[in-house]
Amino acid sequence: MASTYDAVVVGAGHNGLVAAVMLARAGWKVVVVEANARPGGALMSAEVTRPGYVHDLFATNLNLFLASRFYAEFGDDLARHGLRLRRSDLPYANVFPGGRSVGVSVGLESTLERLRRLDPGDAQGWQRLHELYERVSSTLFGVYASPISSYGLTKAMVTAARTLGRKGLADLAQLVSSSCRELVDAYLVSAEAKALVACWGLHLDFGPDVSGGAVFPFLEAFSDMQVGMSVAEGGASCLVDALCGLLREHGGELRTGVAVERILVTGGRAIGVELADGQHLQAARAVVANVSPTALVGNLLAPGDLPEGISRALERYAYGPATMMVHLALSKPVPWDAGDELQRFAYVHVAPYVDDLAQTYADALAGRLPAEPLLVVGQTSSVDATRAPADGQVLWVQVRTLPTRILTDPAGSLAGRSWDEAAEPFADRVMAKLERYASGLGAAVLDRAVLSPADLERQNRNLVGGDSIAGSMHLRQTFGFRPAAGMARYRTPVGGLVLVGAGTWPGPGLNAQSGYLAARDLLSRARWHDRFRQGQHRWQSRRAW
């Protein structure tokens, strides 16, 4: 006999859990079904090198989550369920050849002082960029935190016009359309200061010359200067555990190690799911799919469940370049050539320059293994000392950007053409690059664990091809076009079926936005429907009387 719920959530990534918590708190009977043995999706920690060394396997930076409306409502509840935070006031820095570096600290004046050591013009340009941030950030974050609709965007633009004036609106339009190289060339002087901003673009799939690629690095660079960088004390899974605890507190159910075979659709409406073991879970009100757009149309829905045009659009959903993760257990902090102060920064970017980022991005798109990939070095235990024994350190190294399919290696040293063959040799290349900026690092490595792009997809099927952001964020696939025109507000053409996750607006990152907004929309429609039925019942009663 099928079990019946108000809502079935497919996938226990953080957006699926966020939606489930909100629905359960409203009194809905909710079940979350996850194919993996552990919930969390790309938010997970584990001791993958040696006992006592806790690594965030994928995502680690919680800034977006902490700025979300969901956290504003549920932060105290998450703390009750064990979530503790650790923050660094030294959020990020870059290193350069010759033992040079520049970093950003919380507070404008301290950052300007660091930039003056590079070039007085950099400090002046940073000040001007900060003034631009102060003018336009509330508008941009307002759009980011709202569901995308023609009404919502029109309202945001009207508000922006009133707030910013004609000149401010023109500055905003220019920023949104700029590439990151265009932005930094217009404001900054030295190659080092330009790289300080541009490296953030490759956290997504914004090579320096991609139009529209300036907004994310601009916002990240200056918001981190305001609030620092935060991680979950004890590991990213502590946030997942708190979400699951809150779900259970409100009566929700979590099933792990259970794969959903397909979403059941009758009469154009989602009525539940079929599990791999043949069991059916009925959904009286909604099915929430926290999956990639291509998984929805390619695996979970039957042919004909979606209109042909929407189905084709989702099949064409584009993924970006791949990512590798290298996790290191160290016997001591990283011996940066640029000085011991760097050991205190949450992130250290190793590029070194904007042209290197552009070449790396072009190589990844062309199937070439980059000679100089961007290394995002997360010094997690400098932010959260609980992650390693007192005499040890954990290092989180994200390698961006890489080809999904390896066609060639211009450096000529790697013969393997599959990531299963190339992962360890390429990780050696990563280590060699790190040692050029941290002499003697190799001697401090106790153990390492490498997750190739193929491993990322095996761990999380939404990370197609090892794309850690689960879909390109270029202009053709963002705002109202994510994941496809007509589906930007999480609703699908199938009644009662909503799609959330990184493949929907506002995209990747631990932002909790799509889960929150989709659940709020479901609850709003349910309240409207209940009021309508009550009104209809009263009208029928009067008529009978």
Q: How far apart are CA 106 and CA 460, in angstroms?
A: 34
Type of residue found at 286 = A
The torsion angles phi and psi of 371, rounded to 5 degrees, stand at -75, -30
Q: How many Cβ atoms sit within 10 Å of the Cβ of residue 227?
A: 14
Domain range list for the chain: 3-43+63-83+233-318+462-529, 107-224
For residue 39, say if its preceding peptide bond is cis, omega within 30 degrees of 0. Answer: no
Contact in structure between 337 and 99 (CB atoms under 8 Å)? yes
Q: What is the 3-state secondary structure (H, E, C) of 59-93?
A: CCCCHHHHCCHHHHHHHHHHHHCCCCEEEECCCEE
Considering only CA atoms, which of 49, 97, 116 is closest in space to residue 380?
Answer: 49
pLDDT given for residue 296 in this prediction: 95
Task: Give the angle subtended at the CA of 146 by the CAs of 499 and 222, to the nearest 5°.
Answer: 115
Helix (H) or strand (E) segment spanning residue 156:
helix 150-177
Question: In which residue are the tokens 């709003």 written?
Answer: 524
Helix (H) or strand (E) segment spanning residue 343:
none
Q: How far apart are CA 104 and CA 89, in angstroms?
A: 9
Q: How far apart are CA 352 and CA 194, in angstroms?
A: 10
Burial of 191 (0-12, 13-18, 19+ CB in 10 A): middle
Type of residue found at 475 = L
Residue 32 β-bridge partners: 9, 254
Helices H, strands E: what count in the chain? Answer: 18, 18
The DSSP-derived string for 358-385 is HHHHHHHHTTBPPSS-EEEEE-HHHH-G
Burial of 275 (0-12, 13-18, 19+ CB in 10 A): middle
496 φ/ψ sector (left φ>0, alpha ψ -120 to 50, else beta)? left
Contact in structure between 28 and 530 (CB atoms under 8 Å)? no
pLDDT given for residue 534 in this prediction: 60
The DSSP-derived string for 484-539 is STT-TTSB-SSBTEEE-STTSTT-SSS--HHHHHHHHHHHHHHHHHHHHHHHHHHH
Q: How far apart are CA 511 and CA 65, in angstroms?
A: 5
pLDDT given for residue 488 in this prediction: 78
**Homologous superfamily (CATH) for 3-43+63-83+233-318+462-529:** FAD/NAD(P)-binding domain (3.50.50.60)
Contact in structure between 111 and 105 (CB atoms under 8 Å)? yes
Task: Give the angle subtended at the CA of 346 by the CAs of 340 and 352, to the nearest 5°.
Answer: 75
Encode the chain (545 residues) as per-residue pLDDT tens digits: 578 999 999 999 999 999 999 999 999 999 999 999 999 999 999 999 999 999 999 999 999 999 999 999 999 999 999 999 999 999 999 999 999 999 999 999 999 999 999 999 999 999 999 999 999 998 888 888 878 765 666 666 677 777 777 787 888 889 999 999 999 999 999 999 999 999 999 999 999 999 999 999 999 999 999 999 999 999 999 999 999 999 999 999 999 999 999 999 999 999 999 999 999 999 999 999 999 999 999 899 999 999 999 999 999 999 999 999 999 999 999 999 999 999 999 999 999 999 999 999 999 999 999 999 999 999 999 999 999 998 899 999 999 999 999 999 998 878 778 999 999 999 999 999 999 999 999 999 999 999 999 999 999 999 999 999 999 999 999 888 999 987 878 999 999 999 999 999 999 999 999 999 999 999 998 887 666 566 555 545 555 55
The DSSP-derived string for 427-494 is HHHHHHHHHHHSTTHHHHEEEEEEE-HHHHHHH-TTSGGG-TTSS--SGGGSGGGSSSTT-TTSB-SS
The torsion angles phi and psi of 80, rounded to 5 degrees, stand at -60, -30
Contact in structure between 516 and 70 (CB atoms under 8 Å)? yes
Question: In which residue are the tokens 């989180």 written?
Answer: 396
Q: Where are the beta strands (DSSP E) in 197-345?
A: 229-232, 253-256, 260-266, 269-275, 280-289, 322-330
Considering only CA atoms, which of 183, 178, 201 is closest in space to residue 349?
Answer: 201
pLDDT given for residue 153 in this prediction: 65
- Please tell me the pTM assigned to this model: 0.93
Residue 23 structure tokens: 């629905």
Q: How far apart are CA 425 and CA 443, in angstroms?
A: 18
Contact in structure between 85 and 234 (CB atoms under 8 Å)? no
Cα 506 from chain centroid (whole Å): 10
- Strand 269-275 vs strand 3-10: parallel, antiparallel, or unpaired? unpaired
Considering only CA atoms, which of 350, 353, 376, 374 is closest in space to residue 363?
Answer: 374
For CA atoms 10, 14, 17, 18, the dihedral sign is negative
Residue 416 structure tokens: 């393997």
Q: How far apart are CA 268 and CA 347, in angstroms?
A: 48
